[in-house]
Amino acid sequence: MVFIPHECLRDANVKLKVQETIAHVVGWSLSCATSGVWPSSGPFGEVLSKHRKHQQGKPLAGGQYKACYFGYRADGKARRESHLFPRSFLHSFVCEQCLAQKERKNWEPLMSYKCFYQSAAYRMTTISHTDYMQHTRPLSPWRVIDGWHLGTVFHDPMHVLYLGICKDLYASALGYWIRQGYYGEGTLSDKLRCFSSELKRASIQQRLVVSCKMFTPANTGLDVASHYPEMGSTFKAAFMKTAIWIFAAKAMELTASHPADNILRLIAVCMWNLHRAVFLMDHADILLSNEEAEEISGCFELHLISWQHLAHECEVKKMKLFKIRPKHHSADHLASQLARTKLNPRRVMACFGDESFLGYI
């Protein structure tokens, strides 16, 4: 319902009207579900007929259950288009929740989204729901839904982590290991093929259910050294998620063999903290304990700070590796949100089930 207009409608006013209509109908439906009673009229005040007329005023779901709005989860593009955010990964101001910026003409470097320390200036510019409602235009059409709040527009870990950060992390790590001569023999293709085989063997040994595609220079983005590498779209979220442990183990193995290389140590820290965060989220319930939330948030912080140092080290050495993207900033907000709300992103914010459902319909 939400995605079709963005693909088919070109007129901005028509698109807005469609969005507002969809949000209104969904809001009416959720209001009825929250009351637990069949409605007495339609979403636009129309008189009900036939079966619905006879049901009006009766309890929904046998009077045993009620439903309400809890949160909105989608990838970055859907978040931007559905809510009409004027600040997003496509804009100079990359975030709807703060004033973090991309580098551009007359920008403020202290507000760079690429800094992940607690002293980052953008942390002092958090946009509250009240600020958003008073000062942002246009407003989200979904604001008409009871309970909608800027803070309930979740950052989806499936797209932010597995289809975002991990695609850069794996490609850049492979690029550094291979180009520095730390892994494999023969040509680039030979080394990538060797790593693919090793990954498959490790998956079988650990009884990990994963479809191991063969790595090539093209699908890892390593065929052109002058460009930042990124894993191709043929690698799906399930594979990217499962491969974290194997990449982290390889990072530790290479670091132990070459302890003097600072970049290898940073890669190991970066990978293991992401792996630890994912492991904890997978094994925790919907609501995190204070200890779990603190540890997961801390793992994300170490992961992002080590990535920031990797980006700097590679830039100094003129290597196109470990690019910092707006999705890293989204991961920073995801960590802050789970620390504040104690909600497990794996359980309530990830789109795995939604994506699988779309595959069926």
For 126-150, the pLDDT digits (tens) are 999 999 999 999 999 999 999 999 9
Residue 207 pLDDT exceeds 90:
no
Looking at the structure, tell me whether residues 125 and 224 fall in a common domain: no
Mean pLDDT of the chain: 93
Mark whether 237 and 270 lie in a shared domain.
yes
What's the token pair of residue 21? 């209509």
Position 7 scores a pLDDT of 62
Domain boundary among 28, 53, 68: 68
Place 357 in a pLDDT band, splitting at 50, 70 and 90: low
Task: Mark whether 62 and 169 lie in a shared domain.
Answer: no
| Model pLDDT for residues 277-290, shown as the tens digit of each residue | 999 999 999 999 99
Q: Is the pLDDT of residue 322 over 80?
A: yes
Which of 89, 123, 153 marks a domain boundary? 153
Q: What is the pLDDT of residue 192?
A: 97
Domain check: are 78 and 180 in the same one? no
Q: How confident is the model at residue 13 (pLDDT cuts 50, 70, 90)?
A: confident
Measured in degrees and rounded to the nearest 5, phi and psi for residue 37 equal -130, 140
Residue 58 has pLDDT above 90, yes or no: yes
Residue 111: its pLDDT value, please?
A: 97
Indicate whether 7 and 58 sit together in one domain: yes
Q: Assess whether 207 and 277 both reside in one domain.
A: yes
- φ, ψ for residue 132 (rounded to 5)? -60, -50
The pLDDT value recorded for residue 150 is: 96
What are the angstrom distances between the C-alpha of 36 and each of 30, 43, 44, 144? Answer: 10, 16, 19, 19
- Predicted local confidence at residue 153, as pLDDT: 96
Give the rounded percent of residues in the chain with a pLDDT score beyond 70.
95
Phi then psi for 322, rounded to 5 degrees? 55, 55
- Which residues face 321 on adjacent strands? none
- For the chain, what is the radius of gyration of the CA atoms? 23
Position 4 scores a pLDDT of 54
pLDDT at site 338:
95
What residues does 153 pair with on adjacent strands?
A: 72
Give the pLDDT score at 11.
81
Query: Can you give the pLDDT at residue 1?
Result: 45
Does one domain contain both 136 and 163?
Answer: no
How large is the average pLDDT for residues 27-35? 95
Structural domain total, the chain? 3
- Per the structure, the complete domain to which residue 47 belongs is given by 1-68
Same domain? For 227 and 319 the reply is yes
My answer on whether omega of the bond before 138 falls inside 30° of 0, hence cis, is yes
User: Is there a contact between 246 and 202 (Cβ–Cβ < 8 Å)?
Assistant: yes
Pair 187, 295 in one domain? yes
Q: Which residues contact 204 (CB under 8 A, 6 or more apart)?
A: none
From residue 61, how far is each of 2, 32, 163, 168, 220 by CA, in Å? 26, 12, 38, 46, 50
Closest CA to 322 of 334, 332, 308, 336: 308
170: helix, strand or coil:
helix
31 and 96: one domain?
Answer: no
Alpha carbon 62 to its chain centroid, in Å, reads 38
**Rounded Cα gap, residues 228 and 168, in angstroms:** 8
Bigger pLDDT: 206 vs 246: 246
What's the rounded mean pLDDT across residues 303-325? 97
Residue 3 pLDDT more than 70? no
